[in-house]
Every structure is written in structure tokens, then in C-alpha cells.
């Protein structure tokens, strides 16, 4: 079905928890617990999920979903991405963008050379990273999403311009 541009990815169900139908939920919102306050969340298949209870866990949340009452049902939801209408999210400040809106943008070096496309924005605890599918390469490259590496924050051109130190892209090829 795909995702309309008026929907923003706010979380993903990462697995089942316990025997009563609870799920492990990863929130992508800037204020992670706010995922429980946006009302019904939608999947790409059009399913609606309403969080009835949310409690913090080690790296994510444990959530109870309306009409999900047993582990078997919860297990079928693993990997389901959850979206909310853009109108329910806080208004963005100048030079801010939702990560969801940056996916698929061209990533270009400051000298104008095309590098690839943005395919992900993981955060392993030390800050957001740009995951770039490099043109002509099967592997992706991770670039810190910081002012040093991404000096311009105007994405209206449909490009992300990156400043990489000399040899940055060569490091993985030496192994």
C-alpha cells in the first residue's frame, strides 16, 4: 500500500512480550513516550492500532494494544511500522525536518559529486547517523548526522550535502 506523505513513521513493533498480547515497541519520536499520546497509529497495510498502556523498558517500551489479547496475535505484529498523521505532530522549526521526509533523498558531497541515497537514520546511542546506499556499492555507509558532517540543514533542494574527511569512504575497503 505504501505510505502517504501526510503520514510520518513514529515507531515499530519489535516483538511480543509476555502472554497477554503485549508488544515491545520502539519509538522514533523526539520525546519517545509521546508515541502513546497521538491516538490511533496506522500500519502500511491500513491496520489501526490504539495503545491502551505504555511502560518504559530497557531500550524501548512495552505496550498494550486495543484488541490484541494474546501472545500469538502479538507475535504476528513483529516488524509492523506505525505511522501517525502529520497534523498530530508538533510543528517543525526552521531548518528542522522529520527523518521520515529525508528518506530517499540524494546524498551529495560538497563538491557536487553524487554519493548515493539516504536509506535509514539509525541511532545506536551516540546520535543520529545517515545510512547511505552508495551508488555502485552493495554496502551502505554510516555518516554522523552532525554539523561537522552535514553543514547545511536546508533539505528543500531534495539533497543532503555532506562534508566527509579525506579517506572517510576508503576505511571499509582496507579490511
**One pLDDT digit (tens) per residue for the chain, 175 residues:** 455 568 888 999 999 999 999 999 999 887 889 999 999 999 989 899 999 999 998 878 999 999 999 999 999 999 999 999 888 887 877 667 777 778 889 999 988 889 999 998 887 777 788 999 998 888 899 999 988 999 877 677 789 999 999 888 875 543 4
Residue at grid coordinates 545506536: 124
Architecture of domain 99-164: Roll (2.30)
Q: So what's the pLDDT on residue 5?
A: 63
How far apart, in whole angstroms, are the C-alpha atoms of residue 44 and residue 46?
5
- Cβ contact 152:161 at 8 Å: yes
Q: So what's the pLDDT on residue 107?
A: 92
Query: 105 phi and psi, to 5 degrees?
Result: -70, 150
| Sign of the dihedral through C-alpha 133, 135, 139, 144 | negative
Domains 7-88 and 99-164 share a fold: no
- Cβ contact 142:157 at 8 Å: no
Domain map (residue ranges) of the chain: 7-88, 99-164
- pTM passes above 0.85: no
Q: So what's the pLDDT on residue 171?
A: 57
Three cell numbers written together for 31: 520525546
Q: So what's the pLDDT on residue 18?
A: 92
Three cell numbers written together for 103: 528518506
Q: So what's the pLDDT on residue 1?
A: 45
CATH topology of domain 7-88: Elongation Factor Tu (Ef-tu); domain 3 (2.40.30)
Amino acid at each position: 500500500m505504501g505510505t502517504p506523505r501526510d503520514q510520518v513513521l513514529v515507531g515499530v513493533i519489535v516483538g511480543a512480550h509476555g502472554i497477554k498480547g503485549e508488544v515491545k515497541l520502539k519509538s522514533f519520536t523526539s520525546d519517545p513516550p509521546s508515541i502513546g499520546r497521538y491516538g490511533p497509529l496506522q500500519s502500511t497495510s491500513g491496520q489501526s492500532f490504539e495503545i491502551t498502556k505504555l511502560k518504559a523498558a530497557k531500550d524501548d517500551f512495552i505496550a498494550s494494544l486495543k484488541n490484541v489479547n494474546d501472545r500469538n496475535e502479538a507475535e504476528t505484529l513483529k516488524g509492523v511500522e506505525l505511522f501517525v498523521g502529520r497534523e498530530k505532530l508538533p510543528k517543525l522549526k526552521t531548518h528542522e525536518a522529520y527523518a521520515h521526509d529525508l528518506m530517499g533523498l540524494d546524498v551529495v558531497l560538497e563538491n557536487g559529486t553524487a554519493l548515493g541515497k539516504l536509506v535509514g537514520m539509525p541511532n545506536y546511542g551516540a546520535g543520529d547517523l545517515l545510512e547511505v546506499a552508495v551508488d555502485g556499492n552493495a554496502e551502505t555507509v554510516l555518516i554522523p548526522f552532525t554539523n561537522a558532517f552535514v553543514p547545511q540543514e536546508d533539505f528543500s533542494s531534495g539533497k543532503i550535502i555532506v562534508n566527509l574527511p579525506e579517506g572517510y569512504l576508503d576505511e571499509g575497503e582496507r579490511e
